[in-house]
Chains A and B, each alone.
Chain A
Amino acid sequence: MSFLEFSHISKTYPGVKALSDVSFSVEKGAVHGLMGENGAGKSTLIRVLSGDQQADGGEITIDGQAQKYASTRDAFHAGVIVIHQELQLVPELTVAENLRLGRFPANAGVIQARQMFSEVGEKLKSAGIDIDPRRKVKTLSIGERQMVEIAKAIMLDARVIALDEPTSSLSSRESEILFALIERLRAEGKVILYISHRLDEVFRLCDSLTVLRDGKLAAHHASLRDVTREQVVAEMVGREISNVWGWRPRKLGEVRLKVDGISGEKLRQPASFDVHAGEILGFFGLIGAGRSELMRLVYAADAATTGKITVDGKPVRSADPHQAIRSGIVLCSEDRKHDGIIQGRSLEENINISSRRHHTRFGILNPQKEIEVAETFIKKLKVRTPSRKQDIVNLSGGNQQKVILGRWLSEEGIRVLIVDEPTRGIDVGAKSEIYHILYQLAEDGMAIVVVSSELPEVMGICDRILVMCGGRISGELKRDQFAEQAILAAALPDKKTPTAIAS
């Protein structure tokens, strides 16, 4: 009898069979990986485990006892804690208050603050988490917040901790701290479910692994000793992916986008760069290096205080994104949920929101054309959805990303496409599909800017890389100069001078 067992779990949503007959088990004191493409059923499984959703069939047992949860509260009390990608902390409260929320040490309703801070401080220290319990959560970095979430799980004496894409917005240093913490939890005999798209992490951390595909169990590995990465990728996508990157040399045209000395409130130092027609330019840097801020200035999402932008030699003056779009510049921002999708509206509307202006008359829509555009891009970008009428929040992250790409590809006259973290939280199969879309666009002469925190990604798909550090461009490398060492050196803040400048 294993400690945590899933047996014959099934779950159907209207129109979609999210999980069918999934069974596997995890031993005590193990870190168990859970992998699969977007929409494979990982999230649903976690929702069932956490009591957020009820399975239609099957059973979960922990330590031999069948678990029945009506809500996340029940799961909580049974010692099952899920740490989501979107963290659930109260920003205005301190770390200690967040950790003791609902269980404040109080005397006649008055919180014993000193006692609380010292207790929580000790607990944090013993868990190896170096965060001042008096700090407000809003002042913490994403990585630190994640630590607080895990501390919460530890303090609640969790038996099963599920981590959903925990490193997707962490720097590599923060990730290391997280991994150390996971090792410690494993040593204490907890069961950790580790959901990630990152093969490196899974192979490094996990003892065992389950792969889901289309809601079914695709593979279960009780040990990862004799398993190869290629094998896992094949299990996830159901076919072999020979070359994730698939980069090919392309012919570059004239300079398309020229940015000259642009700066704004969040990016004080003026930055300049240009992109050629047909070029894929990568922007690499650590979190907070100013890459997204720079792109938002170019797109006029934030107001620029200085600087000039030209597209194909023509000066562009835009004060708002709708003007940038008209001059041929578009941006897919890094935060899909806040800045990308329009919640509550259908795929069709999400795709047509901008490009519909090309086929309206006096502001009146052309419904036939909108259906046509939506269907075209759903097919072209292989968006997995039961219908174009589906509310976009019901799609997986990768499919949402494709819809947002579709929004821009359906625009006429786009000359510069900026994509910020195009594959964050997206699985291998969808990733390579998105790369191929980018190559296709570049071949058609578009200038493409890819902002990414994943070094292999920028090295894999870009023709040229600009490195940013501390709010300025600190290095430039052409494809034949690409080397991890040089790129990282330029990205690290302690360097005073740019290390690699291309001729």
Chain B
Amino acid sequence: MTNQLKRILLGDQGLVVIFVVAFALVALLVPNFLTERNILGLLQSVVTVGIVACTMMFCLAARDFDLSVGSIVAFAGMVAVMASNATGSIFVGVLAALLCGSIVGLFNGLVIAKFRINALITTLATMQIVRGLALISSDGRAVGINDPNFYQLALSKLVGIPTPIWVLAVLFLIFGFVLNRTVFGKNTLAIGGNPEASRLAGVNVDRTRIWIFALQGLVCGIAGILLASRITSGQPNAAVGLELSVISACVLGGVSLAGGRATMAGVIVGVMIMGIAENVMNLLNIPAFYQYIVRGVILLLAVLLDNLRSSALGRR
């Protein structure tokens, strides 16, 4: 009996099983959890982390790191609001935000791949540079949105479900496909498994890494636009500390920091666990200060489980 339990928990789908069990428990025990309003709210609350986690998964899988995501999200939000205010066109604002996000990402990628500077250091630098840009552009103040249609990006609904949740779902699908079914995805995992062997096996390692960071920037742009629309303004201080939540969610979802191992399903579960934990604590009126502790403990437990799993698989 205990053996069987152990096998399920430590198996490939262990995390998913734990997630399902936890979800069922929470649904039964926490009042108001399983209501349409709460579930939609829960999903809304994980949109930013979830979107950015899609590409952070690629970054980590290739043994890289990106700390600049929070800053890019804030910066892209500022750009979206300011550009659409200036031109009167939301479309131009959105395009400008996506472009700015991609450019920062591309810059990260070029510096890391071509100048061989450690990803941690590079993105630590761009994290501060880009946050600085966001603050300078508005002199440190929030910028209100002129055109009320901009709110509709986050508020509009499709078949009863808010647009940002649709965007998140579509990105999950796209990046799940990219990871498993494209050369780019497989090359990413191979680079994480053994960068030098991948290069000698004909993988264009530099180009793949540049693409990973550029995509990360683009996706941060999307998250930034949706966030700005939801909080109805461009906030230069938005999304501080986002990088840590995103990396936590990925690690929680079984992405190996040593590279070479990642699944989209795992990352989705990781994002949801973080979201549910926060949601439940809010429903139970647990003060925000304690929530930090709970999040930290969950992360540690998940990594511990992962460790147990890899040693159970055995080395030969």
- What is A's interface to B at a CB cutoff of 8 Å? 13-14, 16, 18, 44, 299, 301, 320-322, 325, 331, 333, 338-345, 349, 352-354, 356-357, 360, 363-365, 367, 393-394, 407
Contact = CB atoms under 8 A, between A and B. Distances in A.
B202 A364 contact: no
Contact of A345 (B182, B193, B196, B204): B193
Given A342-B193, A349-B190, A354 B201 contact: yes
B261 interface: yes
Interface string B171-197: 000000000011110110110111011
Contacts of B184: 363
16 contacts: A16-B316, A322-B204, A331-B200, A342-B193, A342-B197, A344-B261, A349-B186, A352-B186, A353-B198, A353-B203, A356-B183, A357-B183, A364-B181, A365-B181, A393-B315, A394-B316
A329 to B, nearest CB: 11
Given A322-B202, A322-B204, A353-B202, A341 B197 contact: yes
Contacts of A349: 186, 189-190
A13 B200 contact: no
A323 to B, nearest CB: 9
B314 interface: yes
Contacts of A338: 194, 196-197
B157 interface: no
B199 interface: yes
Contacts, number: 85
B195 to A, nearest CB: 9
B215 to A, nearest CB: 13
Nearest to B183: A363
Contact of B316 (A44, A339, A356): A44
Nearest to A325: B202
B260 interface: yes
B194 A320 contact: no
A467 B31 CA distance: 80
B210 to A, nearest CB: 14
Interface centre among A13, A18, A364 (most CB of B within 10 A): A364
Closest 7 CB pairs of A and B: A344-B260, A354-B202, A342-B193, A322-B202, A325-B202, A344-B193, A363-B183
B200 A333 contact: yes
Given A18-B316, A339-B197, A367-B181, A345 B203 contact: no
Given A345-B190, A365-B182, A322 B203 contact: yes
Contacts of B193: 342-345
B262 to A, nearest CB: 11
Contacts of A299: 200
Nearest to A345: B193
B181 A321 contact: no
A340 B197 contact: yes
Interface centre among A44, A301, A342, A393 (most CB of B within 10 A): A342
A360 B183 contact: yes
A321 B195 CA distance: 13
A357 B204 CA distance: 12
Given A342-B201, A365-B182, 7 more contacts: A13-B314, A338-B196, A344-B261, A345-B193, A353-B190, A357-B183, A364-B183
B132 to A, nearest CB: 36
B310 to A, nearest CB: 10
A41 B62 CA distance: 34
A343 B258 CA distance: 11
A337 to B, nearest CB: 9
Interface string B261-288: 1000000000000000000000000000
